[in-house]
Amino acid sequence: MTLPIRRIARGNRIPGQSSSSALADKETATLYMECITVLFEVISAFDKANNLQDVDVLLESFRMAMTNIPLERDRVSHAWQSLRPSLASLPEITHLEARVLAVISDSVEDLPRDAVNKTVAPVPAYKLKSCYVQQEMHMILPGLYVGSYHPAASRSVLDAQGITHICCCINVSPRFPDAYSYLVLPADDNSEYDISPFFATSFQFINAALSSGGRVLVHCGAGISRAPTITASYMIQKLGIGTDEALRMIKSIRSCASPNKGFVEHLRKLSLTNKSVA
């Protein structure tokens, strides 16, 4: 029996921006998984170099280019060329550039990870540990988890945490419609995108699931911007807290969480509205 799946209208789009399509085939899903993995490796490299704040604008542009669907390779290439000089002195640069170029050239299948290690020195596992931790799901409140596309695509991971409901914040077809209840929010990770129309619907979905004893995973592509934003909106409405407090709570558990500036402004408006109603 297929469980309920709710799809929400896309909402406002940026003029001229192409319409996203769902990850309908395995090849596209594989490419998207690779994009997220490469993104986390880049973030991890900057994190170890302690210069995340120095490149926050460039890194946010690269993140949004890598996690929106469909993948716009020209946008990824431009964002990478802007970001690359800041990585030039890091030992991972050759490895990372090979991975990014594979994504841009659509040759992920032709350049698996072990092939990269045949041409450049392999990156020590300990150096990549934090990026793989970031791909996991994290429990923010009892029964409420935030994560990336990776755990949402793994039945064993979802079952291990007792997940019953999945709030998907990207335009992705449900992977396991027979096993979990889904809410699909096809949001774009862009500071000009209005994500606020999804706040009320996601609140109802999450609240109903938790009230019935369920467990909810809220995920997007990287679990950095869209999913934390939707989770924060739930916390603001449910707990009556402010935007800064909600985001602090999320970041204290999921350190990579960092909604784009436009999303933060939408959360601040929600917080003000919520306080005036209360």
* Residues designated as active site: 220
The answer to whether the CB of 259 falls within 8 A of the CB of 267 is yes
DSSP label of 184: E
Close Cβ partners of 170 (under 8 Å, ≥ 6 residues apart): 20, 67, 69, 149, 185, 186, 187, 220, 221, 226
Q: What's the rounded Cα separation, in Å, for the pair 225 and 254?
A: 11
CA-wise closest residue to 195 among 173, 220, 222, 163:
220
Amino acid identity at 207 = N
Rg of the chain on CA atoms, in Å: 18
Burial 239-274, CB ≥16 within 10 A → b, else e? eebbbeebbebbeeebebbbbbebbbebbeebbeeb
